[in-house]
Every structure is written in C-alpha cells, then in structure tokens.
Amino acid sequence: MRPIHIVLALVATAILLPLGAAAADGASVHALLISASNRKGVPDPKLAEYETTLRRNLPLDTFRLTGEGSARIAAGGQASVSLGQGHRLDLTSEKGGGPGIRLKVQWTSGNRVVMNTALTLQPGVPAVLGRRGGDESEVPVVLLVAK
C-alpha cells in the first residue's frame, strides 16, 4: 500500500470514529412550535425549509413559528424542551440497534397533555406532531428534527 493511502485511511478513521461514537451516545433534537391555520397569510420565512413537509402532512394553509428549543439526549436518557407559550416536550430515548433515534414524546401545554407518542427520528428528517380538534382557528404543531 502506498504511504498516501495509509495517511488517507488514518485521517478518515480519525474523522469517522468520533462521529459514530457520538451517534451511539445520543443526539441533539431541535423542536419548533408552529401555529397552523387555514387563514391565508404570508409564509413565515423562518419555516421555508419545512414548508413542503408541513403542507404534505397537514391540511392547513398558513404556518407561523411561535417558539423553538433544543436538547441533547443520551441513548436511554431523558430530556425536556421548553417551547414557550406553556408548551413543553418531555423526551425519553429508547436504546435500539437500528438506524435513527427512537423517542417517546410527551407534549404538554400547561397542565394538559396534548400528545403522547413514540417515533423514530432519522437525522435531518423532520417529524410533524399535531392534532386538530373542534373548531379551532389556529392549531399548535410541533416539528422535531434530530441532528
């Protein structure tokens, strides 16, 4: 093997090993609280990269960012994300051997539980949580992204 190949292999190993270890140790989860409605309005530029995902998953027209937060969660650990306006996510990571980050999510607003769910987040792929109820003109939606 040529010396340059050995050096490149060592550099690649030095870069990739810490990335794999970080994935095994946990992940960073970013959450966005979004107000969604059927009222026509100007798109929120802060949500431009998620607009297609939101429209594909929700039968609503307008989306506005109202809060956001992040947390680092270890494999098999717990974390909380405060989103403002009384909304909070309690996350529990489940250990698993497959790809992605398996999470149990409890979304609360004040003392009321909005949603309990479990999902697997793929890094960089947003997951949309929302529930439409009654005649609400605006619906809170949470978008989760693992990094």
d(CA 124, CA 29): 10
Determine what percent of the chain falls in helix, strand and coil, rounding each to the nearest 5: 25, 50, 25
d(CA 132, CA 1): 62
Contact 91, 79 (CB under 8 A): yes
Rounded mean pLDDT, 142-147: 96
d(CA 69, CA 78): 15
Least confident of 3-12, 64-73, 88-97: 3-12
Rounded mean pLDDT, 69-98: 93
pTM (2 decimals)? 0.80
Give tens-digit pLDDT for 28-80: 999 999 999 998 888 899 999 999 999 999 989 899 999 999 999 998 999 99
What are the extents of the domains in the chain? 3-146
